[in-house]
Every structure is written in structure tokens, then in C-alpha cells.
Amino acid sequence: MRFFSIILITSIFFGCSDKEQVQTFKYVSIDANVSIDNNISNPKELITVYKKYWEAASSGDLNATYAMELPYLNFIKSLQWYRDFKQNDKHGYKVTMLKMNADKNDNEIAYVRSNYKSKVMDVNLTEKWILINTDWYHYYRQSLLPPAPKPIRAKIQ
């Protein structure tokens, strides 16, 4: 009996160790037929960051997603603003990468076509990712800056 207890404890210990070392993305997948443009700089890194971003987003880890947004966001809006703004995002959705292509004029800008599936919607979306130095960042589409002022038209008499 003691021998089986030792085996059980050992298998639990080593089983937990293996699970901690293997990172899984249960809400994110890459379509088997995904087309990846050869002109993208470091597409493997982009896939890795994409998975981390959407896994964090789908589990509600806004600290992690905020860190993966373009760095200018940190200067314009605080983490607290970001968290307040995104707090109503639904969690537990699944995102599947369908296509990656480079901007026609800049291989450090990538457009990622994905399928976003939740209990209430199933849509395809295209996101922009930008390579800065060696890191890919998500382009946050929300307009964070006030709109440009309208030009003043003076009446000429």
C-alpha cells in the first residue's frame, strides 16, 4: 500500500510540474489552413504574441493586454482607464487566426484576420499589429485622442 502511495504522490508531483512548464492557449487557435505572408518580419514571434494577447484578453487579464498594446497608449491613457474601459468585455470567447499579411508598403506592419466566436456573436475581424524594434504590439483601434479641430472658415468679403 505504501508503494502505491509513493507512486501516486510522485505522479501528482511530476504531473503538476509538467503542466506548469507547458503553456496552453485554450481560447486561441491557429487555423490549419492559415495563410502567412512571407513578407512579414518574424511571423513566428507574431503568432506567439497573438496567442498570448488573446489568451490574456479572453481570461480577463487586462494588465497583460495593456502591456501588449502599442507603447504610446501608456502615455495617453492610464492602466486604470484601460481597465475601466475594457471591464465589460465578455470573457470566455474563442479566437482563431485565419490569415496574416504584411502591409504592402511596410513589412513591420501586419494585418491578422481572425474569427471571434462567443455565445452572442461569430464575426471575422482584422487587426493591425506593429513591430517596434523586435517586439510586436497590438494596434488599439479605440480613438484615444480627441478629434482634430475643424478648420475655421473665415468669410471673405
- Residue 74 maps to a domain: yes
Please answer whether residues 27 and 50 qualify as being in contact, where contact means their C-beta atoms are separated by less than 8 angstroms: no
Which of the residue ranges 11-20, 105-114, 148-157 has the most confident prediction, judged by mean pLDDT? 105-114
Check which CATH number belongs to the domain holding 50 and give it: 3.10.450.100
2 pLDDT above the threshold of 90: no
Give the residue, 80 or 73, on which the prediction is more confident.
Answer: 80
* pLDDT tens-digit series, residues 34-49: 888 888 988 999 999 9
- Residue 16 maps to a domain: no
Region of 133 please: left (phi>0), alpha (psi -120 to 50) or beta.
Answer: left
| Residue 122 main-chain phi, psi, to 5 deg | -145, 100
- Residue 81 maps to a domain: yes
What is the model's pLDDT at position 89? 64
- Residue 43 maps to a domain: yes
The total number of structural domains in the chain stands at 1
15 pLDDT above the threshold of 60: no
97 pLDDT above the threshold of 80: yes
What is the model's pLDDT at position 81? 84
The share of the chain scoring above pLDDT 90, in percent, equals 29
- Residue 149 maps to a domain: no
Cross-strand pairs, 109: 130
Centre a 10 Å sphere on the Cβ of residue 77 and count the other Cβ atoms it contains.
Answer: 18
Q: How far is Cα 126 from Cα 110, in angstroms, rounded to an integer?
A: 10
Q: Mean per-residue pLDDT for 110-123?
A: 87
Q: How far is Cα 69 from Cα 25, in angstroms, rounded to an integer?
A: 19
Question: Which residues in 23-118 belong to E strands, given as ranges?
Answer: 28-36, 94-103, 106-117
- Residue 101 maps to a domain: yes
Which domain does 93 fall in, by range?
A: 24-138
What is the model's pLDDT at position 38? 85
